């Protein structure tokens, strides 16, 4: 899965798509009555739709990050689940 250390990428991804979604969706909301702008895309306000899609994606990714954080916290407690061995030998090249 996504690495938890040293930086949780899920949160960074969620922030990126939230910002982009707000920018694109916000512009779509502001221009919802501008028919000329959306003429090439068949009068569909695609800024609003894609802004919504990106915001939705950001929320899902953020939720996944929260779930992973809770699981990591639970596993870190005494008696919590521990990482099982993967059966791979140590790498001789590592310094």
Least distance CB 63 / other proteins (angstroms): 16
Which helix (H) or strand (E) element contains residue 55?
Answer: helix 46-76
Task: Candidates 33, 77, 79, 87: give the one binding other proteins (CB under 8 A).
Answer: 87
What is the C-alpha to C-alpha distance for residues 47 and 35, in angstroms, rounded to an integer?
Answer: 13
Distances (CA, A) of 11 to 23, 56, 57: 18, 14, 12
Instruction: Using CB under 8 A, list all residues that contact other proteins.
Output: 1-3, 5-7, 9, 12-13, 15-17, 19-20, 23-24, 27-28, 31, 37-38, 40-42, 44, 46-47, 50-51, 54, 84-89, 91-95
């Amino acid at each position: 899965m996504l690495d938890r250390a040293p930086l949780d990428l899920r949160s960074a991804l969620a922030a990126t798509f939230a910002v982009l979604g707000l920018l694109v969706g916000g512009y779509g909301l502001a221009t919802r009555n501008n028919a000329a702008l959306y003429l090439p895309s068949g009068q569909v306000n695609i800024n609003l739709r894609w802004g919504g899609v990106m915001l939705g994606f950001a929320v899902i990714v953020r939720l996944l990050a929260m779930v992973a954080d809770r699981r990591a916290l639970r596993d870190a407690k005494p008696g919590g689940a521990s990482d099982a061995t993967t059966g791979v030998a140590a790498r001789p090249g590592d310094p």
